Structures are given as structure tokens and as C-alpha cells.
Structure 1
């Protein structure tokens, strides 16, 4: 993807792409789509076994690195190893993310901060590690944001704050690197059908959102759509076409959320079965397990 040539039939052919959060969910779907479009993909995530299974599906085209995106030193080592083994990246997709769901005052402060650390700080550290390679290839960085960056909802304050922060971070980086030939895109997604969105708190939140904001979409078509945007080096990408309209009216969306949940919030807060005590879904459990293992290693 050197320079801005996008006229080739497969502009990603022969290029190296890095995807974080690639062990499962949307990240794995993005990796599959990138391989199908000709790229060699560095799969970065926490779950070594899942990364290895995905890599085995594409021999010679995908390779796994088990790394926590909040570990700056490990990310730097990963970036060096990717470049040594595969070459400098032409595409970076900062996708790694976790979510928690509970009223802010009832949330665990450590869990709340972990969401911000992974989704926002982890994205920044990912860019810090891999941006030198993108500068060498005049490549493309895609930040996975969310509809939550446009329309914050209750029970997800850490996730909404982190995604809005990641959006602002990507805009700032674009202004810095665009003169040097690197393009930056931001992807806005609604609900993709990954395991974490089936947590009780997120199901209940979706039930209070108007159509199509509460609709769930299969992740692979969303990933395919995003990768077509990567090929175009698009500045703004939408996982679902209707999200473009949300961007247009974003100034009014926080007020809409307040009105929608004015009567629902007392009920949601009283539902002890809804508030998740920690990070949600298999990705959250993997994050907890990785941090526990890291603490044991430090204590050994």
C-alpha cells in the first residue's frame, strides 16, 4: 500500500497488515477478510491458542503474536518481530477492546480503568509501536471506534469514554502523519454479533434503543465492508450504512439517550442481575486470565 495507489484489483496483495484483538470476534473476521484480499496478517491478541488456530487456517498468510496491548515493552518487541519476519506493515487495525456494564457509581474502579486502558491507551500504544513501519510504507492506520463514540448510553460509561477518546486520538494522529503519506481511518460500528453483546446488561440496553440502533449484525459482513474501506484508504468508515446518519445528527444524540433512558434507568439500576461485576464476555475473561498470569509471573 505504498503511496496512494488504489487502482489495482487487490491493493492489499503482498502487503503486511497488523490486527489487534485478532483472537476472536470482529478482529478475527477482519483478519480473514484481509487475508482474502491478499494481505499477510500479523494476528495480535491475548489468546495464544486461538491465534494459532486462526493462523493455521491460512498457512503462510497469517501469524500470531500473544501480546497485551497495554504492555508497551511487549508491543515494541512484537512490532520489531513482525517487521523482522514479515516486513514493515502497510496496514494497522487497532481493534483490541473490552467492555464492562454497570452504573458508574456501582462500577469497580479497577474494571472501569481497565476498559479505558485497553480501548484508548492500548490503541495509542499500538500506534506508537507500529507507526514507524507505516511511515516507511506510507501505509494506513484504521482505528476501530464505535457508535458509542457518537451516542453514549448509560451503564457503559467507560466504554463510551474510551471509544470517544480513541476517535479523538485518531483524528489528532491523522493531522500529524498525513503530510508524511500515512492515512488514518476511523470506523464506526453498531452492534456486531460477538459473544460479549449477549451479556444481560447489553441485551437490556439494546431493548431500549430504537430501530435500527438496537439491531445486531453478523460480524463477517461488517468486517468485509471495513476492509473494502481499508483498500480505499478511507477516512471515515461505517460498519453499517445507517450509522452515517448518526454521524450527521451526533450533536443531538446524547440528549436523545437521556430521554430514552429517563424512565428506564431506575429500573435498570434496581436489577441486580444486570450489572456485570467485571469485564464482559470471553474477551473479558481472557483479559482477566492474562493479567492474573502476569501477576503470578511477577510474584514468582
Structure 2
């Protein structure tokens, strides 16, 4: 069995995430306590109780999801489940780097809080947005972006799975891309309820601000291979910071990352963290793989049983 641990990004959060595991497993509780201390406020309470509007703020969402993902990972590791490779979608890449021991957890949780703040603030609210386009080939969506770029910035942002590409940019250009996609027979083309145009060139400044924070942290040798969102290939230690900076304003090559892991023999994917979004993407990419998820006690028991642990 060749296992990949995969980690969700922003949008997977919900009030109550991680609570059951925190209460039952000491190794998970320790991670939540370390997060509270590193951030100087009670992120655990926000994960467990909300309120939703606070949890939805990008600068809170990112450290909250990271904390839950890392806490759950500790529970699996304690039970002897080891990955051969790891990848995370956007924010989830930080969970992968913590798993690989390239980033200290405390550094990571502080970094993603700042990352969330910068991603939110560099583009004033109402200026940028994102849209999901379903049922068209990637090449056609890329062409739609080129045409719609006549009215403003619009670029591919998330290559999620076959026939699902999210675009990002200025509101009028994204709306134009949605119109064009509908005209070309997209199954679905909808503007998303997001507060910023993530993973496009409009966020370049956020990457530059993040670079200053990354200067303060040490990247250590990777103990587990990590696939980068930017390249859909393995990350080398000396490229980690550069790729994390680029990741903010470049498209997330998720489908390509999963295909790379499959090509290298991964037969079992375990999504660790809130929700099952990535599990759905992997199934659409290759139905023949085993896909498990772990976000609470019930899913943990199912996963351990499937893994024969």
C-alpha cells in the first residue's frame, strides 16, 4: 500500500471541527494548546464553537484549518499510519510541510494567519471574485479567460479535477468569463461567495508581504516528499519559500498533483481535516484508488479499519 496524506484548504471549515478528537486524544489536544499559545488567542474555541462569521474571516480560517489538520495527523501517526507522500490544496500545503517536518508547527500557524490577512487585504472587498466552471475542458476555460481578459484580469486559479476549473480576477472580467462559459455549454458556471480573488496575479503583493514573514522562519530537511501546488512536482528544501510565495498568486495544480502521485504508485489517499472536498476530487480523477478521510471519530474508525490498523 502506498499512502498519500492530503490536506484541505480554505472553505472546508465549520464550527465544531476537531472538537471530538481534541476531547478524546491527548496528542491532538496538545496541538490545539500549542496553536492557542503561538497565536496568543483561543483558536481552539473558535474551531469548536465559532461564531461562524469569525471563523469565516480568512486570517482565522487558515490557522484554524491548519491546526485541525495537524492535530488529526498526530492521531494517525500515533497509530502507526505513515504517508509515502503528501500534498495539500493551497493552505493545505502548509499542513503537508508541517507533516514533513520542514516547517515547525508554531511557525506555520503564525505564517498562515498573516497569509490570510494579506490575501484578504491587498485587494479591496468587492473588487475581485472567483467563479467555478464545470463541464468544459481546461483548454477551453483557459481560452475563455484570454477572451474575458479584454475587460479586466481573469485567470485560471484552481485545477480541481477533470471538468472543474475555478477562475479568479476582477469582478467584471470573472462575470464575463461565466457568460462565455455558459454560451459554450458549461454544465455550470457560477460566481463563488468568496471575499478575494485568490490564486491570481492580483494577489502578487500578498506574496511579497508573505515573503518578509517567510524570511524569519527556518525550513528544515523534508522527511516526507511534498508535492507543490505551483509545479505539481516534488519540492526541494531550497525552493520551499519561493514556491509558497508564488502559490499565493499562481494557480493551484491540484488535479495535476494527484495525477503525479498516482503515476508514482499511490493507491490510497487519506484526506485529513474538515470536509471531504479533496476526496471528491480524487474520485473524479481516478475511481480505482482507495480514498479515505478523517475528520472525526467515526471517520477515523472507518479509515483505520480500511487500512487494517
Shorter-chain TM-score range: under 0.3
Say which structure, 1 or 2, has more relative contact order (CA 8 Å, 6+ apart).
2
Give the structure-1-normalised TM-score: 0.26
Give the structure-2-normalised TM-score: 0.25
